[in-house]
Amino acid sequence: MSEFIEFILERHSDILTVIWEHLYISFIAVIAGFIVAIPIGILLTRMTSISTIVIGMVNIIQTIPTLALLGFMIPLIGIGTFPAIVALFLYSILPMLQNTYTGIRGVDPAMVEAAKGMGMTDFQILFKVEIPMSISLIMGGFRTATIYTISWATLASLIGGGGLGYLVFTGLTINNKSMLLAGAISAALLAVLADFFTRRIQKLATPKGLRN
Amino acid sequence: MIRFHRVSKTINETPIIKGIDLHIHEGELFVIIGPSGCGKTTAMKMINRLINPTSGTIEVNGEDISQKDPVQLRRGIGYVIQQIALFPHMTIAQNVALVPRLKKTPANDIQKRVDELLSMVGLDPESYKKRYPSELSGGQQQRVGVIRAMAAEPPIILMDEPFSALDPISREQLQDEFVRLQQTIKKTIVFVTHDMDEALKIADRICLMKEGRIVQIDTPINLLQNPADDFVVEFIGSDRLRKNLREFNISSRETKVTELSNEKLPRGGVT
């Protein structure tokens, strides 16, 4: 135990650096995923004929083990932070895409009909009715994606992407339990914090009339 | 006001509406009734172009609606549906103000209009404006649904079984309030229902449909006195026929009296 505290005190600036790296790669991946997944999810609700194909394809990406996907990145775009972000980005898409799609499809058709019958344009129906009514589910997808990405980002160091995985895997290799623990505990804490904050965001994004 | 000219609708080669002609007069409460699948809702939804006819034309105020922009057309026609469909993420005031806002009515006018409409159906504006639909009872929600359709002062209102999802007591209450309301606003209302009691109670004229065709269009009293064929008799039901004829005969003598006593009644009770 004292060994562990000593390690923390001695190496705190290094630890903070990898925590920063970890957050950085996770967030860029999730934000990029958000920017891509939400519009595609919305678009798919307008093109139901191809939606099963697209969601199926994204599902396939999801079934590739994380480690294998990271491995794929090496011949394609080499090693380092960028390939790690690309891999995590691909992973983050599915939960957000799926929730956006099911959220908007799940809006009561009577609501959409009422909106249309009252003279809203398709654009107004989307932004004033469908999105507000499914935003809670959409942001739930964002939450899932964020938490997953933060845990998966631990593997990024395997292709030279940095992050807390560096402490975990180096600790394992050189049999330094303190280093291993510092990495593992930090990663777990980050995931818990991410859960807390994304839960808040989800709640704040939900319109008042729809909060229970 | 609204004129159907040889209107037909075929969906997946199944004829839903088989060439109907129809003239709905200004200021009348026109009820379309019939068994399920008779095309009554389809006929109504063609008026605001939620459904487009396969052939034939529909005119509103002498203008062929197929030539009009559907969005603009709909903003001039109120719409109330069975599922009520108040938007749960908007307050009562926001729901009522929706169409005037789409039409870019000045905010001050909208405020005034919302208060006026809420008072009209017995909902105190101060206590209800800021509430959300989930905080209201079913009957209150549909009162809001009805005034939402009236907010932009459309000359025409379409109502698709607006009261059928309510409990019997609220339904009766809303029907009574609605009849009273219509006496003051005198809109052209197209009202779809499958409930003959409701139709007889509220209609100026009833249009009975069967399998995509119109069987009879008449005033309630004429429908009861001179049913066009056996189907009409069957649909009204012989019990109801006898009972309502008796009541109509009594009520036509008593109209004067009831009108007077109605004046003294408090308007729009809150449930």
B128 contacts chain A (CB < 8 A): no
pLDDT, one tens digit per residue, over A20-61 is 999 999 999 999 999 999 999 999 999 988 988 998 888 888
Measuring CA to CA, which residue among B29, B75, B9, B50 is closest to residue B182? B29
Q: Does A104 touch chain B (CB under 8 A)?
A: no
- Determine whether the interchain pair A113/B50 forms a contact, defined as Cβ–Cβ distance below 8 Å: yes
- Are residues B90 and A108, on separate chains, in Cβ contact within 8 Å? no
* SS3 assignment, position A138: helix
Tokens representing A83?
Answer: 């390939």
Portion 128-147 of A in contact with B at CB < 8 A: 128-129, 132-133
Q: Which residues is B216 bridged to in the sheet?
A: B208
Q: What is the dihedral of CA B109, B115, B117, B119, to 10 degrees?
A: -150
Q: CA-CA distance, B39 to B45, in Å (whole number)? A: 10
CB atoms within 10 A of CB B36: 7
A122's tokens? 């398709």
Residue A3's pLDDT is what? 87
At B266, list the tokens. 């408090």
Which chain B residue has its CA at the smallest distance from A205's CA?
A: B89
The residues, ordered by sequence, that sit 6+ positions from B195 with a Cβ below 8 Å of its Cβ are B33, B164
State whether residue B231 sits within 8 Å of chain A by CB.
Answer: no
Q: Mutating which of A111, A116, A118, A126 best tests the B interface, going by the most B Cβ atoms within 10 A?
A: A118
pLDDT for residue B148: 96
pLDDT, tens digit only, all 271 positions of chain B: 899 999 999 999 999 999 999 999 999 999 999 999 999 999 999 999 999 999 999 999 999 999 999 999 999 999 999 999 999 999 999 999 999 999 999 999 999 999 999 999 999 999 999 999 999 999 999 999 999 999 999 999 999 999 998 999 989 999 999 999 999 889 999 999 999 999 999 999 999 999 999 999 999 999 998 999 999 999 988 788 777 777 777 666 555 444 444 444 444 444 4
Of A120, A208, A210, the CB nearest to B102: A120
C-alpha A102/C-alpha A97 separation (Å) is: 9
- Averaged pLDDT score across all residues of chain A: 93
Question: Are B87 and A108 within 8 A, CB to CB?
Answer: no
Q: Does A108 touch chain B (CB under 8 A)?
A: yes
SS3 label, residue B186: coil
Q: Give residue B265's pLDDT.
A: 45
Query: Of all helices (H) and strands (E), which one includes residue A39?
Result: helix A2-46
Cross-chain residue pair A129–B81, CB shorter than 8 Å: no
Q: Is the pLDDT of residue A142 over 60?
A: yes
* Beta-carbon count within 10 A of B9 CB: 23
Cβ neighbourhood burial of B206 (10 Å; 0-12, 13-18, 19+): buried
Q: List, edge to edge, every strand of the sheet that includes B29-33.
A: B77-81, B156-160, B188-193, B29-33, B205-210, B213-218
Q: Cβ of A111 and B75 within 8 Å?
A: no
**Cross-chain residue pair B88–A110, CB shorter than 8 Å:** no
What ranges do the domains of chain A cover? 2-207
A123: contact with B, CB 8 A cutoff: no
- pLDDT-derived band at A70 (thresholds 50, 70, 90) equals confident
Rounded to the nearest angstrom, the minimum Cα separation between B232 and chain A is 31
Q: Where are the alpha helices (DSSP H) in A64-206?
A: 66-77, 81-105, 109-117, 122-124, 131-152, 165-173, 177-205
A119 and B89 within 8 Å at the Cβ level: the answer is no
Pairing state of beta strands B188-193 and B55-60?
unpaired
Which residues of chain B from 6 to 65 reach within 8 Å of chain A, CB to CB? 48, 50
- Beta sheet of B2-11, edge-to-edge order: B14-24, B2-11, B55-60, B63-64
Residues 6+ apart with CB under 8 A from B52: B46, B66
Share of chain A above pLDDT 90, in %: 74
Q: Which residues are CB-neighbours of A10 under 8 A, at least 6 positions away?
A: none
- For residue A137, list chain B residues with Cβ-Cβ distance below 8 A: none
* The two three-digit tokens of residue A146, written as one number: 């964020």
Q: Search chain B and give the residue with CA nearest A111.
A: B85
Q: State which H helix or E strand residue B16 sits in.
A: strand B14-24
pLDDT reported for residue B261:
46
SS3 A67: helix
Residue A206 pLDDT exceeds 70: yes
For the domain spanning A2-207, the CATH number is 1.10.3720.10
The predicted pLDDT at position B246 comes to 79
Q: Are the C-beta atoms of B271 and B173 separated by less than 8 Å?
A: yes
Q: pLDDT confidence of A73, banded at 50, 70, 90?
A: confident
Distance CA B42, CA A207 (A): 34
**pLDDT value at residue A58:** 86
Residue of B nearest to A132 (CA): B89
Look at the block and give the residue holding tokens 């990898």: A18
Residues of B in contact with A128 (CB under 8 A): 87
pLDDT at B251: 66
- List chain B residues with CB under 8 Å of A121: 71
Element (H or E) spanning B3, and its range?
Answer: strand B2-11
> Best of B87, B90, B99, B147 to disrupt the A interface by mutation (most A CBs within 10 Å)?
B87
